[in-house]
């Protein structure tokens, strides 16, 4: 009988988030799972790691006894590091992160704790996928995403991923019948036009809330933003080698010996 794949599951919304519970349900039908997730929300944590304080792991009771589940005091990247180094007895065959409450398309991938967890696994040579649903509501309906998540995971397990890449998957906030399919995309050129809402507390001290609007500057029909706006699930292969290879030739024309 073929051995089941070992799957590490994490997220950035916290171990009690409905999104990760959905991911657990789906992964439980595919392989043997171990869950290591933050004990509190870590949205926007990016690839932060804990170096100035201690880390704690608490084993949870899931009620079924068929998988292990741990809450971690650290960031999503910490969860993956600890899962690999301290909890699992062997390297997992796959790491899945999410399902995030809210989009991680386009430039959002830079800030995302969900995707940073997947990237951390990718750095370790583990095939990894970050899943996000474009609905920030804590009570979001994840049911329609289950079959698509399973399809994508099974394809990754069957075919593998190109070395140095992980997948960024975003699912539109539509019901299953409304979703037109899955599209392989590139990351759209977009950014946040940010502002700070400045206020004062009762003691006269200034404080700030980050606000702003998301601006899509890319009108291509091969982007994640286009796919999501047109009813498709977007799948973007991303790399963690941040070298701008196309810039090397230009920089080599500079004279660094000038006085």
pLDDT digits (tens, 9 = 90+) for 201-222: 999 999 998 888 888 888 899 9
* Domain spans, the chain: 6-189+221-251
Give the C-alpha separation, 128 to 37, whole Å.
15
pLDDT digits (tens, 9 = 90+) for 59-112: 987 545 689 999 999 999 999 999 999 999 999 999 999 999 999 999 999 999
Note the pLDDT of residue 92. 97
Tell me, which fold does domain 6-189+221-251 have in CATH? Stationary-phase Survival Protein Sure Homolog; Chain: A, (3.40.1210)
Q: Where are the alpha helices (DSSP H) in 106-145?
A: 108-111, 113-123
Q: 59: part of which helix (H) or strand (E)? A: strand 57-60
Lowest mean pLDDT among 151-160, 162-171, 187-196: 187-196
Give the C-alpha separation, 33 to 5, whole Å.
8
pLDDT digits (tens, 9 = 90+) for 170-181: 999 998 889 999
Nearest one of 29, 31, 45, 36 to 15, comparing CA atoms: 36
β-partners of residue 131 are 169
CA distances to 10, 76, 116, 214 from 50, rounded to whole Å, are 16, 10, 14, 29
Give the C-alpha separation, 18 to 114, whole Å.
14
Note the pLDDT of residue 1. 55
- With pLDDT > 90 as the criterion, what percentage of the chain qualifies? 76
Taking the chain, what is the end-to-end CA distance rounded to the nearest angstrom?
70
Q: What is the DSSP string of 174-220?
A: S-TTT--EEEE-B---EEEEEEEEEEE-TTS-EEEEEEEEEEE----
Q: 232: part of which helix (H) or strand (E)? A: strand 232-239
């Amino acid at each position: 009988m073929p051995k089941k794949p070992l799957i590490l599951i994490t997220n950035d919304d916290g171990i009690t988030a409905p999104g990760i519970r959905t991911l657990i349900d789906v992964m439980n039908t595919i392989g043997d799972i171990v869950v290591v997730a933050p004990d509190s929300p870590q949205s926007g944590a990016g690839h932060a790691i804990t170096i100035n304080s201690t880390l704690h792991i608490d084993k949870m009771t899931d009620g079924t006894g068929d998988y292990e589940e741990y809450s971690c005091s650290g960031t999503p990247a910490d969860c993956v590091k600890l899962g690999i180094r301290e909890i699992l007895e062997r390297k997992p065959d796959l790491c899945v992160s999410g399902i995030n409450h809210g989009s991680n398309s386009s430039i959002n991938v830079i800030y995302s704790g969900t995707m940073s967890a997947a990237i951390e696994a990718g750095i370790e040579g583990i095939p990894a996928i970050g899943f996000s649903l474009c609905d920030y509501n804590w009570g979001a309906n994840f049911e329609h995403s289950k079959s698509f998540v399973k399809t994508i995971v099974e394809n990754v397990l069957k075919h593998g991923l190109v070395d140095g890449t992980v997948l960024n998957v975003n699912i539109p906030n539509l019901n299953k019948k409304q979703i037109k399919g899955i599209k392989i995309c590139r990351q759209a050129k977009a950014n946040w036009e940010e502002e700070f809402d400045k206020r004062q507390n009762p003691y006269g001290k200034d404080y700030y809330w980050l606000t702003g609007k998301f601006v899509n500057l890319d009108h291509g029909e091969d982007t994640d933003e286009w796919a999501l706006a047109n009813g498709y699930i977007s799948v973007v292969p991303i790399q963690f080698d941040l070298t701008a290879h196309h810039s090397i030739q230009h920089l080599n024309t500079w004279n660094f010996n000038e006085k």
